[in-house]
Every structure is written in structure tokens, then in C-alpha cells.
Structure 1
Amino acid sequence: MENKRYPEHLVFGLDIGTRSIVGTVGYRENNQNFIVVAQCVREHDTRAMMDGQIHDIPKVSETILEVKKELEAQIGRKLTDVCIAAAGRVLKTVTVSAEYEFPSETTLNEEHIHSLELIGVEKAYDTLREEVKEDKINFYCVGYSVIRYFLNGYSMIKLEGHKASKIGTELLATFLPDEVIDGLYTAVERAGLQVANLTLEPIAAINVAIPEKFRLLNIAMIDVGAGTSDISITKDGSIIAYGMIPYAGDEITEAIVQKYLVEFKTAEIMKLACLRKKKVTYKDIMGINHKVTTEEIIDSVSEAVHRITKCVAEKIIELNGGKSVSAVFVVGGGGKIPGFVTSLAEYLNLPNDRVALRGEEVLGDVTFLQENIKKDPLLVTPIGICLNFYDQTNNFIFVNVNGERVKLYDNNKLTIVDAAIQVGFPNEKLFPRRGKAINFTLNGNKRLVRGELGEAAVVKLNGELVGISHSIVQNDKIEIIESTVGEDAVYEVRQLAEYNGTISFICNGQSIICPKFVMANGKLVSEFYSIQDQDEIQILNYYTLQQVLEFMDIKTKGTIYVNNMPAKMEEKVYENFTIQCELKKEQPEENTGILEEASEQYEGAEQEETNLNVDNSLNTKTVSAVAVKNNETGTSIIKEENNRKTDLYVIINLEPVKLSNKSKYIFVDIFDFYPFDLKKVGGSELVVTLNGEKADFTTPLKERDVIELYWKE
């Protein structure tokens, strides 16, 4: 067949039945007629399926592959995507109502209507999960049918184009257990195909067998296959119910097996012969040849036919609210056996002409390009599967996450994050993770220093690097490499904003500047102490009198006064307290010699840096970069050098940046180390924040400050 006889896009539908697999390829023309360009039927070699359920996946997959190859040969193209339908073997249906209210009156479009329907389906899904939660069975939505719409509280057939403040719907959602769907998907994928659309067999059949113009009537449609009889019922313009019984054509075949002692395949041939022959010759399991009339065969299976039709009739009456319907359409191969429709009419108390096989009559809008194709009830479902592609009502999609297939409820807003969560990928491993934080107390107040941020997760969608918020569609392949953990927090005493390093006293009229004491868990530590988790840090704002004297390395005699009051050695001496004491004679009294000695040691343009060695005895007088100088009034001053150059780390736009070669830093200094050109205007406003608050260029910076810097549109 030449490609030019049909357009580029073709729909491939598979009816995976209990007895056979029917493949159909075609396209819709002018949004109405469906053109079938190729068709293939293959029967299962073994009973790989029973009652519509796949039992032998490899065997079913082999048969699907045969059908695929045959169709590819007919059309001269490769087939990659396929539409399938599931039998309602363990079908669950839920009828729900849903509403949506707009903030103001709105003209309705397709998106509004679709969103309303999805609200209803999600509600149905929640209702079903609540009903079956004790069974621990996961269900898959295979389709839904809208029973009616509501516009501002009034029933409405169509919503699009109307103005409304509130819209509503009543719909019927259909569900099957995951294992039923998983078996279908696995069999199809092993044949090298991807599922483009999934529906329910009765939904596919009714869309062909009962056009919308007939649905005002209370009509039942029965799709009689080999393993199941699927039922749909219409009323007042909508499909109001779906159902299934696990009895169909195989029950009739098995009756022939029992009656005539033949293999199942032989019995199938004898059953089909009843449709077109008067006599049948067969060989039983003993190897003996027999000849029998088809009337005898039909008579021998009448009990099975009555049993099936009785069950179908009872199910129809149950689904229709306890009463019979007005008419019944029968499709599928299993219902073609003579006597089936008349028996069903009897049990439904309907005239015989109100129960009829539907084949050629309902395929009037279907054109077959192949020659010698008879329009038959057997073709209704596979063509309906193809047509369902054009009006997809699937509510779930499948994607692949790190090699695992994941099913997601399709709300038209799915992202990689949704897929990751569904597969159980920890949410925190998607985003940059911080190293361990340090929790400690400072002078009784809780403090927290956060660890460094790690790298975000690496995400690939179908081989391309994307963000975690990228949208996804059916059959996407997602690869996620988890985020990394940043460096643990490291924080020294000297980095504390409250630690300014020194405390001053007045001793015998001279200003004495001493390093502040810091205690960690009751022990004295230096400014270079690395704070640990759960530490209790205290910055002392006093010295004891004994500690002051030991720091100055002087010896006294007589009474010592603090703020002009006699004091003991354990007396606490706070900022700018005065100390008066008499030095022992062996100490030079002029200019308190220790101060002159310190002056000689540290005075000069270049001052050496020494470290304060702090222990419990405090028997040293050294302090970081101390300068001592006598002024004209005879007062000696010790002061700390504040110009020691240090490094400072800040976070700019989530990126760690090192500032160096200065003793103090202000906001404007970041431009020496971070690539941001202020001359290139990138928006209407420059946003500058420091730790979440607005900042200016002269704002001082401290370790691990968080900075945001960008142009705002």
C-alpha cells in the first residue's frame, strides 16, 4: 500500500481479547469519517488470556508482535505507539458530583470544562480509595463519562461559550486494579510499543455502537467477547452505568468441548461454523471422525447461552435501577451465536426486534481501504479504540524515573517534582542540602549557624538537562542524581558579632585594655575556639580583681580599692571600673613600669601579633597586638590593633564568595570579588538585600552573610 493514500499521522488500535488480538490502523477524516488502512487478526495459540485478564504475558506479547509486524508490512511504516482497551473484569465505577465557582462571571472555554471534569475524577478517585483502603488495592482510572453539566445550578448539555459564576458536573468514573493495567502495559512494551491511550472496552464500543443522538433513550450495549460480557447503559443523553459479567463466548466453546470431547481449538472452529455452515466434520480426542449438523451444535449449547444471557439480563436490570431497558445492542464475536439475542430479549422481557446485533449499521462512517472486509460486530470495539484516541479521557500517565515506571494522575500540570515524589524520591534530595548546623547558646540565648549549601540535584529529561520544575508528559524518561550535602558549619568565637575582643579598666589612673574572657561549657577558651553543637557560650563582661592583677603582672600591698571601695580578689570588675592599689617596692612606681615595658615591647610602626594564651591561672600579660604609649599627662594607653587582615565568606545569589585582604568589609567591597557590572543596567530597579533586609553600599558585612543582588524588571 502506498504512503500517499493516507496522511502522515495514523492511529494504531489493539483489541487484546481473550480469544484473539485485533489490530487496526487508520485515521479520522474531516473530524467524522474514520478510514481503516490496515487490519490484522491473530488468535492466541494457547489460553494465554482468560476472562479478559492476561495470564501468560510472554505469549500475549508474541502475538501482539506478530500483529504489529503484519500491519507494518501492510502500511510500509514502523509502528511505535498504540491505543489499547481493558476489559471490565473487576471494574469499579464511582458516580460523583463536582463544582467550581469563579471569582466573577466568566465565559467558559474548553480548559474550564476539562478542569471541572478533572476535579470530579479526582473526587471519584478519593472516594474509591476510601472504599477499598482495607483491601490495599491500587486502582487505575481507565476513563469517565459525563452524565450532565450544571450552569449556575441549572442542568445543561453543553457549557462551552456560556457565561457562568458557577459550573458543576455529575460524572461516572471507571477504575480497574493496577495489576490488570500493568499486565497490558508490560505485554505491549515487550512487543516494542508504547501506550498512547488507554480506555475501557465498553467505552470504546459504545462510542461506535450508540451515537450521541441515540443516548436520550434508555439503551443497553453488550460487548460479548470470549471471556467477558461488558455492559454500558445510556439514558437522557449520557452513559449512566458500566458493568461486566465474566461469562461470554468461551462458555459456549467449553460446552462444545464437553459435549463432543474435542480440543478447545476444535470446539472454536465448530462454534464459528454454526454461523455459516449446515454440517461440521470434526475429530474427537480419541481420534474418531464425526459429522454433525450445526443445528445439533446450537441445540447442545443452548443451556450455556441461556445461562450467559440470564446473567447479562440480571446485570442490566441491576445497573438500570431495577428495571429493564428500552432496547439492547449486541456487539462482539461472542454474541453472534444463533439464539443469543432472542434469549436475551426473553430474559429482559423485550420484543425480539428490540435486541439486535450491531455491525454494519453502526460502521456507516467507517471506510475500509482493504478489499473484502466485512463490516462485522467483531470490528466495533477495535475501531472504537482508535476513535477514542481523538477524544482521550485518560486521567493518568506513565513515566520512567531512574528505571522505574511510575503512574501519575494527570492534572495537565505535572512536573518532574511530582514524578520524583510519586516514586518515593526524598524531597530534600532534590534541593541543595546544607551541612550540619551548629546549635548553641550565647549568654543564655539560642543561636544557630547553618552549614554550607550543597549542589542541587542533576535532572535529565529524555537525556537533556532540565530543572526540577520542568513539565512532563506520557512516557517521558527521567533521570535524577540526588543533591549533595554542603560543608558542615564552622564558627569561631571571634566571629560572634557580640565579641568585640576587649574590655577596659582604669588602674591607678591608667587605661588598661584587656581581652574579653569567653567560656564554653564552663571552661575558658580563646577567641579562636571552634564552637561545637550544643555548646553553652558565655562572653564575660567582667574580670575578677585577681585576673586583672595577673594580666598586668604586678604585685600589690595593702588594701586594694575598686570604685573607691575595699575589694577582695574575687570582686568582679566591669567595663571602666577603677582600681587603686599600692605596688610593692620592688616594682618601679614611675609610670607603673609594667606599662612602660609593654610600651617598649609593642610600640612601633610595625607591631608583631602575639596570641593571648588563656588558661585558668591567666599568668601571662601578652595580648594580641597591644600598643602602649604615654601621653603628656602621664597616662599610658593600651589599645588593640584592629587592622589585622582577615578573610570573610559571604553567600551572594546562593553562591559562596570569599572576600580577602581587608580587616573590615562593607557591602560595596563585594564588587571586587563578585562578577556584577553595575554599569550594565538589566532592569528597572537594582535589588540589594542583606539577610533578607534591604541594604545600602556602606552596610558592614560579617561572616556568612546572605546577599541578594539582581536587576528587577
Structure 2
Amino acid sequence: MENKRYPEHLVYGLDIGTRSIVGTVGYRDNSNQFLVVAQCVREHETRAMMDGQIHDIGKVAETILSVTRELEKQTDCKLTEVCIAAAGRVLKTVTVDAEYEFPSETTVNEEHIHSLDLIGVEKAYETLRSDMQEDKINFYCVGYSVIHYYLNGYTIGKLEGHKANRIGTKLLATFLPDEVIDGLYSAVERAGLQVANLTLEPIAAINVAIPEKFRLLNIAMVDVGAGTSDISITKDGSIIAYGMIPSAGDEITEAIVQTYLVEFKAAETIKLSCLKKKKITYKDIMGLSHKITTEEVIENVSEAVRKITKSIAERIIKLNGDKAVSAVFVVGGGGKIPGFITSLAEYLGLQKDRVALRGEEVLGEVTFLQEGIKKDPLLVTPIGICLNFYDQSNNFIFVHVNGERVKLYDNNKLSIVDAAIQIGFPNEKLFPRRGKALEFTINGSKRMARGELGEAALVKLNGEVTGISHRIEQNDKIEIIESTVGRAAEVEVGKLPEYKSTITFVLNDKHISCPKFVEVNGELVSEFYKIKDGDDIQIRNYYTLGQILEFMDLPFRDNILVNHVVAAKDEKVYENFNIQYPIKDEYTYTENQFDDSFEDTRDENLSYNIEEKIADVTPSQVAEVMAAELKTPVVERTGVTNDIYVSINREPIKLSGKEKYIFVDVFDFYPFDLTKAGGSELIITLNGEKTDFTHPIKDSDIIELYWKN
């Protein structure tokens, strides 16, 4: 489509309407002006189209060919490619919200945003398929508009570069059924043309009628054609809705047919004459001539006008969230009939000057090189179709996915993932899938372990392994082997963060480590137990004295001390508690009783050796464990007693044998030698405050006891 007379590439646009076809040829210059070098309008000889839908492909192709030849004659060049638009009558729109949550805070990049948009488009597909499953119609996504992006739940203009835990989008996806695409393509191809660009009539119109600088306002654009009235609504900088009603200029023409008994073409002439004449002469089907005034015609079609404008107003209000918009721009020939915009304003409850025809005002950057052409609302959509070529050169292409031939709307950004979505390939089977998660509770708190990630889908493009984001072209052959599911989550008790493999006690002044007890669903298990879904896990932070002795293979004996107090078999022993196990029952020791004959006085029949017992328990942690002699006298228990636990220098100590306790009692249970000064001052505090030896103490008190230099 080159010609030496013109400095730029010529763009050929066709507005294939219900009543006529408008052809426009022009180019955009360096100053961003669009120059129209040729234009032609041809009405259909028959009603080959109704309500924006092609019914007679052959007849429409003939009209397209007639328009093309006239434009070739005007431009003196061969036209082979054309830009077209599909009517809003068959447009389906779906508004969806989609979210993506990152495993941890992540800086958002372009790939994340693209993936988020695809999640939204796929969700829109699923919604449309669910709504239309009974109709068995194939729909194609021809584009989408992002209404809002969200960063951690808050609206944001641009996501890229921000750090986020969660991103989201609200988008409007647009779809067309297969037969509409095929009908348009067939008519164009029969006329010897190839489609260079396909858009939607409401998109073409709104891009001219409502520039982006006006889209912060809540405005509606209505393109009133012959068969349909297409509606677009803007708000907060975005196009938020598209809609259509199957009523437009033809209804007005049909009212004239019924009133004046004329055939449809004559009625169309009467309607157009109302725009430029005061009196109109016509012949009815009986061959009789009549003369009527424009006022009479307008009065007779007023009911049809009110019916159309009421339907448009109701549709606008519904699309706009059940409220009127701030203003309405009307384009297209059907809205030019006197009284149309006034009636629409009344049904919307707007002031009359808030509803206006848009023509010359929005075509400021368009120059017509032909003489005698007036900038008119009728020309907004044809010019918009041409201008869309510069914004988005697109078409439909065919590729093969897993042996299936797939048609895709080419927006110059098609990738393998778009083809996968088109055939209904589940999005989750493109990306690595996690194995089954494991849910359980630990000490009453819910916990979940994630399964492992599997392998991503294996994708081949024309036999070569590639990624799902790789761009695709006409006739590409794509093979997709679905992603795999990773291994289900597996967790052993010993791997839990709450689990320490051992509890350490002090036995006869030597540290000994015992395996930690864990109960799962009431049963004791080892650290190697593999957790199952729904398990209730209780991790014990203590042993009973009897369990420790059993673990050590030592018999229970009288006068076993826990934190210097005689303890029963069921006494709970916590981390770092001190246990003193007597070597022989009848011995009560003092320091002065130990002499060189100690070994000879032990029970000859004692068949165990404590040193060996301890070494056998934790050989990796205890190199040498010696059995130590008892050094603290047994505390006699008389009368009413009250056992309490206090923390002394961060060590839990049990006080037992008395009803009430004062600070000095601590020294009966905690080894601290007051006879040897370890510094210049003895510091004693109770719950962070300095105290004295006679101060009462109670359960859970925190005590610090040390020498200060």
C-alpha cells in the first residue's frame, strides 16, 4: 500500500455498518496529524446486514469491492490490506479481580505483572465459558483493559519496581464469537483484501471521541449506528465498561416506513432529509406524491427516538454501577436526528448541555485533503478504525498446539502461554505444581508444611525446547507437556523448629542429655516419626523422675533429690534441673565423711555402674560422667507444705517442705556459698528489685543472686 505521491504509508480503514460501508484512506504525518486522502461511502443494495451482523457475505463483499475500487481510483494506488472493526452487538465483556501472592516480599517486575494479567484473563475465560456453556459458542479474547492494579490490597497506578507480598488487578476482558470473526474475514477476503488490523467499533470510536486526558471523568460514549448503539464508559483514567443495545437508526427508519407507507430506502432518504431540509417530498408505495415538513417527521418518529434513548440510558446506568454518568458524547449517524440528545439527557437526568454530538470537536487532529467533506459524528468511527492501526497493528493468526489448530487474535505480544489459554490448557499445569501440603497442630497451634515444587511444563516451539513466554508467529507448531506435581510434604518430628533433640539434666553434678518426649495423637513417638495430615502433636519439655530412671536403667531409690529436695517418682524434671542419685540407700553424707575407704564401703551387690550408664546414654555428648557424692543434707518435711518454683539466675528451682518461704530459704535449695566472698558486694534482687533475706517469696518469682566486683 505504498504510493510515491504520499510521503507516508497509507492506511485503509473500513467501517462495515448495517446501512452502509465507509472507506477511508490516509496517513499520519510527523506532527501526529492524520491526513485523509480519500473517502467513499456506499450503501448496501439490500439488507445484507442487520443489527451489525453480516447475513449475506457475498453482497457485503460486493459493496466492499466497490468501495475499494473507488478509493484506488482516487488514490491511484493498489489497496491490498485493510483495517476493520467488529460491531459491539456481539461483544462479550467480563470484569474480574485476580491476585497473586508471593512466598515472601518481592520486588515486582514486568514478568510478574504479565503473569498477573494472564491469571485475570484466564479467570475471565472461565467465567465466560461457565456462562455460555449451553450455547456451545467459541469465544476469542480480543483484548483487555486494566481498570486498577493493587499493591498489598491498596490501589496503585503502576506496580513495577514496588516491593510487595501480594499484587492484584481488576481488568475488563473483551471477547468475540467465532462466527463474527469468520464472517468479517470471509467478506473482506472475497473482495481481494487481507485484514491488517481488527478492532472493536466501540474501541475505535472512544479512542477518538474521548481522548485519554478526559478519561479521569465518568463519561459515556454512545456510537449510534443503523443496527446497534455501542456504549463505552470511562472513569478514573480507564475504560471500565463496554455495552450495546440492538436498537439504533433503523428503528427510526422503520417508524417512517410504517407512518408514510414507503419502502425502507425511501424512508432512509426522508430521515436524512430532516437534517438539511424544512420540507420533504416523497412517493408512497401506491405511487402518490406527498409533501411533509421536517417537524411532522420528527413528531412521528419521536416515540421511536424515546424508546431507543430510554434503552440507551438504562444500559448506561447499569454499566455504570446503577447510577448516571457525568456526561455523554454521541457519535454516529443515528444520533443526528433532532430530539435524540435531548431525550437521552432527560432519561439520564442530566442537563441538556451534558449530552452532546461529537464530530468536529474531536477531529481536530484530522485533516481532509478532499474538498467538500464536513467533519461529522458519522466519521468518528471510520477515522478511529484507521488510527487504531498505529496504536495496535493486529490480526488473527493460526498456530498448532498439541496437534490442534488454534486461531489467536494477534496483538503483537502473543506468546506460547496465550495459545495455551486459548485451547483451555489449565494455567496451573504450565507452572511447577506443589505436592500435597501437610496440616497438623503443635501444642495447639496450627501448622502447615508445603509440598515440594514439581517441574515446569516442557514446552517446544517448532521442535526446540523453549519457555512459555516465547513469542509466537503464524503457523508455529507448539507442543506442551504439562508440569509435574512435586513430592507431598514430609516432615519428621525431629525437623520441627520447636523440637530440640534432647533435654539436658544434671545428674550427680554431671550433665546428661535425654531424648525429648513427643506425643502424637496421645502416643509417644521418636524424633524420626513422619508426621501425617491432621496429627495433633504435643512436645513435652519435661521428664518425670521415673522416666529418667527408666531411661538410665536405674532403679528408683529412696532419698533421690531433685533440686535438693526429696522427690517422688512422678516428679516433673525440666531442662537443667539437678538430680542427685544416692550411691547407697543407708548413706547420709557430709563432706567430712568422705575418705579413702569410700569405694570399699559401697554395696558389693550393686550390679550397675552409674558412670557407665550415663556414658551409654549419650556417648556423643558426654565424654566422662562421674558419679558424685551427695553434699546437701536432706530437707525434712513436717506439717503443712507448699511446693513452689522460682527462677534463680535463670535456673528453675523447686522450693519444698514449708508452708511459706522467705528469701533466706533459697540457700537451702540453691548452691551458693555465702562463707566465701566472691566480690565486694552481694547482690540479691527479687523480680528486678533489690531485696533482703527476710522478704517473702512466692511461686514464679524471679531471683538474681551474685557477687559484684
With structure 2 as the length reference, what TM-score do the two structures score? 0.56
**Corresponding residue of 2:133:** 133
**Corresponding residue of 2:294:** 294
Q: C-alpha separation between the residues in 2 aligned to 1:192 and 1:422?
A: 30
1:3–1:185 Cα change, 3 Å: closer
**Corresponding residue of 1:15:** 15
**1:217 shift after superposition:** 1.5
- Aligned length in residues: 438
Structure 2 letter corresponding to 1:399: F
Structure 1 letter corresponding to 2:144: Y
**Corresponding residue of 2:546:** none
1:273–1:36 Cα change, 3 Å: same
Q: C-alpha separation between the residues in 2 aligned to 1:203 and 1:346?
A: 26
Q: Contact 1:399–1:473 (CA<8 Å) still a contact in 2?
A: no
Structure 1 position 318 matched with structure 2 position 314:
no
**1:405 shift after superposition:** 7.6
**1:15 shift after superposition:** 0.9
**Corresponding residue of 2:51:** 51
1:25–1:268 Cα change, 3 Å: same
Structure 2 letter corresponding to 1:296: E
Structure 1 position 38 matched with structure 2 position 38:
yes
**Corresponding residue of 1:72:** 72
SS in 2 for 1:310: helix
Structure 2 letter corresponding to 1:240: I
- After TM superposition, list the pairs within 5 Å mapping 1:180-191 onto structure 2: 180-191=180-191
Q: C-alpha separation between the residues in 1 aligned to 2:75 and 2:380?
A: 21
**Corresponding residue of 2:117:** 117
Q: Contact 1:226–1:334 (CA<8 Å) still a contact in 2?
A: yes
Q: C-alpha separation between the residues in 1 aligned to 2:140 and 2:341?
A: 33
**1:418 shift after superposition:** 6.1
SS in 2 for 1:38: strand
Structure 1 letter corresponding to 2:208: V
Q: C-alpha separation between the residues in 1 aligned to 2:238 and 2:344?
A: 23
**Corresponding residue of 2:199:** 199
**Corresponding residue of 1:336:** 336
**1:18 shift after superposition:** 0.3
**Corresponding residue of 1:380:** 380
- After TM superposition, list the pairs within 5 Å mapping 1:612-627 onto structure 2: none
Q: C-alpha separation between the residues in 2 aligned to 1:2 and 1:92?
A: 36
Q: Contact 1:146–1:169 (CA<8 Å) still a contact in 2?
A: yes
- After TM superposition, list the pairs within 5 Å mapping 1:561-576 onto structure 2: none
Q: Contact 2:406–2:419 (CA<8 Å) still a contact in 1?
A: no
SS in 1 for 2:232: strand
More deviation, 24-33/54-63: 24-33
**Corresponding residue of 1:398:** 397
5+ residue gaps, structure 1, are: 425-458, 481-713
**1:16 shift after superposition:** 0.7
SS in 1 for 2:90: coil
Structure 1 letter corresponding to 2:261: L
SS in 2 for 1:398: strand
- After TM superposition, list the pairs within 5 Å mapping 1:77-92 onto structure 2: 77-92=77-92
Q: C-alpha separation between the residues in 2 aligned to 1:390 and 1:113?
A: 24
Measured against aligned partners, the alpha-carbon deviations of 1:299-321 in whole angstroms (never above 9, x if no partner) come to: 11111111111111111111111
1:141–1:268 Cα change, 3 Å: same
**1:278 shift after superposition:** 0.8
**Corresponding residue of 1:267:** 267
SS in 2 for 1:267: helix
SS in 1 for 2:344: helix
**1:198 shift after superposition:** 1.8
**1:76 shift after superposition:** 2.8
Measured against aligned partners, the alpha-carbon deviations of 1:214-241 in whole angstroms (never above 9, x if no partner) come to: 1121111110000001111111221111
**Corresponding residue of 2:352:** 352
Structure 2 letter corresponding to 1:18: T
Q: C-alpha separation between the residues in 1 aligned to 2:160 and 2:361?
A: 31
With structure 1 as the length reference, what TM-score do the two structures score? 0.56
Q: C-alpha separation between the residues in 1 aligned to 2:154 and 2:32?
A: 31
**Corresponding residue of 1:584:** none
Structure 1 letter corresponding to 2:38: A
Structure 2 letter corresponding to 1:238: S
Q: Contact 1:204–1:385 (CA<8 Å) still a contact in 2?
A: yes
Structure 2 letter corresponding to 1:259: T
1:237–1:142 Cα change, 3 Å: same
SS in 1 for 2:36: strand
1:3–1:93 Cα change, 3 Å: same
Q: C-alpha separation between the residues in 2 aligned to 1:417 and 1:369?
A: 42
**Corresponding residue of 1:368:** 368
Structure 2 letter corresponding to 1:239: I
**1:384 shift after superposition:** 1.3
SS in 1 for 2:38: strand
SS in 2 for 1:243: strand
SS in 1 for 2:140: strand
SS in 2 for 1:89: helix
Q: Contact 2:37–2:369 (CA<8 Å) still a contact in 1?
A: yes
SS in 1 for 2:345: helix
SS in 2 for 1:301: helix
Q: Contact 1:2–1:75 (CA<8 Å) still a contact in 2?
A: no
Measured against aligned partners, the alpha-carbon deviations of 1:467-502 in whole angstroms (never above 9, x if no partner) come to: 57798866x46799xxxxxxxxxxxxxxxxxxxxxx
1:469–1:248 Cα change, 3 Å: farther
Structure 1 letter corresponding to 2:73: A
5+ residue gaps, structure 2, are: 426-459, 479-709
Q: C-alpha separation between the residues in 2 aligned to 1:70 and 1:473?
A: 37
Measured against aligned partners, the alpha-carbon deviations of 1:559-603 in whole angstroms (never above 9, x if no partner) come to: xxxxxxxxxxxxxxxxxxxxxxxxxxxxxxxxxxxxxxxxxxxxx
**Corresponding residue of 1:703:** none
Q: C-alpha separation between the residues in 1 aligned to 2:231 and 2:365?
A: 23
Over aligned residues, Cα RMSD in angstroms? 3.5
SS in 2 for 1:341: helix
More deviation, 237-246/192-201: 192-201
**Corresponding residue of 1:218:** 218
Q: Contact 1:408–1:422 (CA<8 Å) still a contact in 2?
A: no
Identity %: 77
**1:159 shift after superposition:** 4.8
Q: Contact 2:8–2:27 (CA<8 Å) still a contact in 1?
A: no
Q: Contact 2:148–2:155 (CA<8 Å) still a contact in 1?
A: yes
**Corresponding residue of 2:681:** none
Q: Contact 1:330–1:358 (CA<8 Å) still a contact in 2?
A: yes
Structure 2 letter corresponding to 1:202: P
Q: Contact 2:140–2:409 (CA<8 Å) still a contact in 1?
A: no
Q: C-alpha separation between the residues in 2 aligned to 1:193 and 1:468?
A: 34
Q: Contact 1:398–1:405 (CA<8 Å) still a contact in 2?
A: no
1:319–1:417 Cα change, 3 Å: closer
**1:122 shift after superposition:** 2.9
